[in-house]
Structure 1
Amino acid sequence: MFDNTPIQSYEELHQALDALLEENLNVTANLANASALLDHFLENINWVGFYLFDEDKEQLILGPFQGKPACTTIEVGKGVCGTAYRGNDIFIVDDVNEFPGHIACDANSKSEIVLPIYKDGKGIGVLDIDSPIYERFEEKDRVGLIEVVEIIKKYI
């Protein structure tokens, strides 16, 4: 289990996340712990969490997160999260103000990365991470966070 030791690399994050999640098969608890671990590991972020697809409402609903209160629903195809989910595409947005239709839940957010979560061809939701710094997210973050999503998918 995670012991609050500083994590220095994505490889260490992946090992800690896998160990943390294997102890519990409850989706909500696992996503809550994943967001807390990511918040602990990632520097210069102001929000990290999940939006989960609600089949009945056909929209993304706020899930476990770390940060300020957030938008509770996002329409599929709207904003960075809804667009990433709809197209099953990863988005790195260097300046959220430049993204057409960006949904500003926190005016302090300047950049964002969103990774869709699909399992067995079914859309589960997205991992959304915001930063108060422009151009915060790089290729190493995209690659490292892809593996984070792969680990999470084993436990949801």
Structure 2
Amino acid sequence: MSFSAIPLTGSKPDQYAQLLAQARALLAGEHDRIANAANLSALVYHALPELNWVGFYFYDGTELVVGPFQGLPACVRIPLDKGVCGAAARSRQTQRVADVHAFPGHIACDAASRSELVVPLVRDDGLVGVFDLDSPLPDRFDADDQRGLEAIAAAFVESLR
């Protein structure tokens, strides 16, 4: 199968609608979480500007373990009581952090990261993991980004069996 990302155009909500359509096309007919996480990480990393890390952490029943990602090498394991990823996993609520240096317990896997958005991945009331995006810019993520990335994360969860 060949896949070619289509450049995003229009308003930010329009761009996220286009990105979601591309994500769904990538996920169609595939149910392996590693394959889908790898493709979504690459898609989002290359489609959205001003990101330095996009990827997945999967919950192993005790802590979050790094999965497929794009960016510099990452922290391998994250306890649920640490960092932005841990907060999203623990609370099961998206964490949108304008300044990671002001976030209590922030884990600096990449010192260049300044802002972060983490979407929890929940299926049938069980924690699957988190979808994590970092930016070298402060306050990179807004409400449109949050809604768009939550929709992409939901499409990922729907692809799982």
Fold conserved between structures, TM > 0.5: yes
Task: Tell me which residue corresponds to 1:78.
Answer: 82
Task: Tell me which residue corresponds to 2:34.
Answer: 28
Shift of 1:90: 0.7
Where does structure 2 lack aligned partners over 5 or more consecutive residues?
Answer: 10-14
Task: Tell me which residue corresponds to 1:60.
Answer: 64
Cα deviation digits, residues 34-85 of structure 1 (max 9, x gap):
1000011111000000000002xx0000000000000000001210000110
Contact 1:2 1:16 in 2 (8 A): no
* Percent pairwise identity: 45
Q: CA RMSD in A?
A: 1.0
Alignment equivalent of 2:52, drawn from 46, 53, 59: 46
Structure 1: how far apart are the matches of 2:104 and 2:46?
A: 30
Letter in 1 for 2:18: E
TM-score (norm 1): 0.95
What SS class does the counterpart of residue 61 from structure 1 fall into? strand
Structure 2: how far apart are the matches of 1:87 and 1:2?
A: 35
What SS class does the counterpart of residue 155 from structure 2 fall into? helix
Task: Tell me which residue corresponds to 2:159.
Answer: 155
Shift of 1:4: 2.8
Letter in 1 for 2:132: D
Shift of 1:154: 1.2
Shift of 1:114: 0.5
Cα deviation digits, residues 105-144 of structure 1 (max 9, x gap):
0000000000100011000000000000000000000110
Task: Tell me which residue corresponds to 1:5.
Answer: 6
Task: Tell me which residue corresponds to 2:127.
Answer: 123
Alignment equivalent of 1:113, drawn from 80, 92, 117: 117
